[in-house]
A and B are shown apart, each in its own frame.
Chain A
Amino acid sequence: MDVFALVTITVLAVFLGFEVVSKVSSTLHTPLMSEANAIHGIILLGAIMVAGQATEPLPLVLSVLAVFLATINIVGGFVVTDRMLVMFAAKPSRAGKKEVSK
């Protein structure tokens, strides 16, 4: 990537990041954090990129470990966010009721 494209993309993404969460209510703070956590799980793509090019044992072991960890991040991240949001959908019965089954 040339430096100008890189800086442009980064600066725009920073502003976009500020903008998209600026009006979130405090009840949604935890699900939003969880969603952001799931999204950075896309490091799985980076892990697959390096694992898919590894030829020697050490890089292979490290990058396959990275694939494993990144999968936990992204899959777990989206599933747990969904579970939090199920509770929001079933809201009126607030406190500690049994969770809605899937």
Chain B
Amino acid sequence: MKILNESVVLTGYLVAAILFILALKGLSSPRKARRANRLGATGAVIAIAAYVLGHDIRNGAWIALAVVAGAAIAVPAARRVHMTQMPQLVAAFNGVGGGAAALVAVVEFTHGADAWAGSVIAFTVFIGGLSLTGSFITFGKLQGIITSRAVVFPGLGVLLGVLTLAAIATAVAMVITGNLLYAAALLGIGLVIGVLFVLPIGGADVPIVISLLNAFTGLAVAGSGVMLSNVLLLIAGTLVGASGTILTISMATAMGRSVTGIVFGAFRRARKSG
């Protein structure tokens, strides 16, 4: 439906961006926090309504179906979850968000991309994929599906190093050739690295890593904003990436830990024991 013109849509994005900032800000006061969360949700509704009312949209029925199906899963999950299981549910939600950002990037890549857009897409595909599996491993750890202890094996550090180099090489090949298969390969490498990155993290450090992966998804969303030339995605993603980084550091500090110690500590131990 093309009811709203472009400047109204952009104003809607501006309002949404302000509401997101107020939402994050309001969360630092227990009294205002619940209202702040509502402001955030209102911002999201305004932004999406503005886009939908301002553009001709194909596949409307499919999109509506996917939204209804997603909400039908998310609302009961969020409503029924036990208080002690909330952190892992947030991790799961974060993971699917990262997966969504990666898929959006892959789809955008099918339209072709120059070197700049291609690089942003490669970044988003990789970080989104990493966030997806990393978050699900943290979910599994907190939920007791997999052991919450640090899982390390000899050569893990080397394997991660090799995979990281492979990811860079694949990203370069993807940007140069424009071949979708490289994008799929990069997504695959991101998914594997997500698993290997979180496995060595144990017990009490897991919530901190959830926060770190949350910030990663924020960066992936910011990347989507750049490739889609959408200023709201850029602002919201960058906000979450930045505030999530600070939050991760404060959480670690509150527990007397350091973020680098958590992320790289396990590898150091692995090297000593292996």
* A73-B96 contact given A35-B36, A87-B83, CB 8 Å threshold: yes
Indicate which residue in A18, A59, A89, A96 contacts B242 across the interface (CB closer than 8 Å): A18
> What secondary structure prevails in chain B residues at the interface with A?
helix
In whole Å, how far is A24's beta carbon from the nearest beta carbon of chain B? Answer: 4
CB–CB B70/A48 < 8 A = no
For the side of the interface on B, what is the size category? Answer: 35 or more
CB–CB B229/A1 < 8 A = yes
Total inter-chain residue pairs, C-beta < 8 Å: 324
CB–CB B211/A43 < 8 A = no
Interface residues of B in 7-56 (CB under 8 A from A): 16, 20-21, 23-25, 27-28, 30, 33-34, 36-38, 40-41, 44, 47-48, 51-52, 55-56
Indicate which residue in A13, A27, A29, A77 contacts B239 across the interface (CB closer than 8 Å): A13
CB–CB B107/A79 < 8 A = no
CB–CB B93/A37 < 8 A = yes
CB–CB A31/B63 < 8 A = no
24 A-B residue pairs with Cβ-Cβ distance under 8 Å, sorted by A, are A9-B234, A17-B241, A23-B28, A24-B28, A33-B90, A37-B90, A37-B217, A38-B44, A42-B44, A42-B237, A46-B233, A51-B66, A52-B58, A52-B60, A63-B103, A69-B70, A69-B97, A70-B97, A72-B96, A75-B71, A76-B93, A80-B89, A85-B37, A99-B83
A-B interface, 4 closest residue pairs, ranked by CB to CB distance from nearest: A17-B242, A71-B70, A76-B74, A73-B97
- A-side residues, CB < 8 A to B, are 1, 6, 9-10, 13-18, 20-56, 58-60, 62-89, 91, 96, 99
